[in-house]
Amino acid sequence: MTKLRLLGLSICLAGSPAFALEQGEYRFNGFGTVGVTHLGGEDDGRSYGITGQTTDSWRGDQLSKFGAQLSYGLTDTVGVTVQATAKPQQDEWKANLEWAYLSWQANDELMFRFGRLRTPVYMYSESIDVGFSYPWLRLPDEVYSQVQLSNYEGADVVYNMPLSFATLSFQVAGGQAKNRDYFAYDDQFDIDYSKVFGANVSLATNDFGTFRVGYVEADIKTDITGTVVGILPPGVGVVQQQSLLNLDDNKGKFTSIGYQYDNGTWLTANEWTSRKVEGDNSGAIDSFYLMGGRRFGEFLGHVTYAQLDDDEGRQNSWTLGLNYNILPTVVLKTEYKRVDTSGGYDGVFIRNAQELYENTVSERTNGAFGVPARNYDGDIISAGVEFVF
């Protein structure tokens, strides 16, 4: 299979309008990851990751997933696309309908899509489940843990403007995402996103890589509570419900800037993001990663530095990765990631409700009660196989 064919396959799985189908034609593709990961360095059963599935046991439910995508041309300009995945959520596998939309190719440059679509948050949002399309086995957590919403119900408009040296693309999206799962403090909660609006512009040059700038906002509604045992009088030892975060249509805003380049030998990917939720009693959360890599025949070596800055402190990490192309559509990936936090910050490590409560009490009583917040560190080893067909 040629490199051009592989590029086309990855673009198909990312839902690019450049591959419109004629009436009666269809395209079926599959993809998946079989991987394991392990956290060392934290000796108290600590977990890590967007849903806390990286622990001190070798587990596959942080990385493993399978998916399939079907596109069908209803007419020469109208088509339907469906993408479904199966991946673990905590201790059980769950089927997910990621995409289900109608598309109308108005002309060679302009496309409209209606239905369930990917939320255009990150540089890799469209292909976030297709691990074959990016160099890491696990995307940089410092950035990709910031927004857990992966799709919404609504519409978008995509306009591609061909230039002599590049293609300039615009996307505007809008809709809502109700009754989604949100993981926080080692538990699952319901969350609603209304008035979702997103816009991004990207410039894919012929010789100098792709630049992307994006913005997404939504009104967020959720009530995150936890059951804790009181440590302050008169409620010492009393089991009680604590409100950890209550949002009632508070505006959340997310900005991202990205750049990626790959000439077949050298490659780089870089992304900076800023998240702000009005009324959550915290400032903006800024994060970024810088990745560089080089291919040596069928091998790819890469290194990534990532950083996450919050009012509470900082998390930073270094990731070293080595990939090997077993087949043109199958790649073996291995990674070592060193993670550290500072300022008494948990970062992407998981605190439960009781820990958060005791840390908050310690801060408010100048250490007279509770337990001071501490720093975390760990060594994460990951290995897996990713494929497309």
| pTM to 2 decimal places | 0.93
Residues in the chain: 389
Alpha-carbon distance of 151 to 148, in angstroms, equals 9
In CATH, what number is assigned to the domain containing residue 365?
2.40.160.10
Alpha-carbon distance of 340 to 376, in angstroms, equals 6
Residue 5 pLDDT exceeds 50: no
Q: How confident is the model at residue 15 (pLDDT cuts 50, 70, 90)?
A: low
The average pLDDT across 158-181 equals 96
Instruction: Please report how many Cα atoms fall inside a 13 Å half-sphere around the Cα of residue 350, on the Cβ side.
Output: 22
Q: Can you give the pLDDT at residue 19? A: 57
The total number of structural domains that make up the chain: 1
Collapsed DSSP state (helix, strand, coil) of residue 13: helix
What DSSP letter does each residue of 298-335 carry, written as one string? TEEEEEEEEEEEETTEEEEEEEEEEEEEEETTEEEEEE
Q: Are 49 and 141 in contact (CB under 8 A)?
A: yes
Q: Which domain holds residue 54?
A: 3-388
Alpha-carbon distance of 275 to 284, in angstroms, equals 5
Evaluate the omega torsion of the peptide bond into residue 120 and state whether it is cis, within 30 degrees of 0: no
DSSP 351: P
Q: Can you give the pLDDT at residue 30? A: 96
Please state the separation of Cα 131 from the chain's center in Å.
11
pLDDT tens, 240-297?
998 888 999 999 999 999 999 999 999 999 999 999 998 777 789 999 999 999 999 9
Nearest Cα to 167, choosing from 180, 154, 158, 177? 158
Q: Can you give the pLDDT at residue 12? A: 60
Beta bridge partners of 217: 197, 253
For the CA atoms of the chain, what is the radius of gyration? 22
Q: Are 273 and 287 in contact (CB under 8 A)?
A: yes
The average pLDDT across 315-337 equals 98
How many Cβ atoms sit within 10 Å of the Cβ of residue 304? 23
The average pLDDT across 170-194 equals 95
> 106 exposed, middle or buried (CB, 10 Å; 0-12, 13-18, 19+)?
exposed
Q: How confident is the model at residue 42 (pLDDT cuts 50, 70, 90)?
A: confident
Residue 2 pLDDT exceeds 70: no
Q: Can you give the pLDDT at residue 9? A: 57
Q: How far is CA 273 from CA 213, 253, 347, in A?
A: 10, 11, 15
Quick one: CA torsion of 56, 59, 62, 67, rounded to 10 degrees?
170
Beta bridge partners of 310: 313
pLDDT tens, 202-242?
999 999 999 999 999 999 999 999 999 989 888 888 999 98
50 Cβ partners below 8 Å, 6+ apart?
A: 141, 144, 145, 148, 183, 348
Average pLDDT over the chain, rounded to whole? Answer: 92
Alpha-carbon distance of 371 to 213, in angstroms, equals 42
Q: How far is CA 159 from CA 107, 137, 201, 338, in A?
A: 10, 31, 10, 41
pLDDT tens, 54-70?
999 998 888 999 999 99
User: Which residue, chain included where needed, has tokens 């870089």?
Assistant: 270
Alpha-carbon distance of 130 to 182, in angstroms, equals 22
Residue 1 pLDDT exceeds 50: no
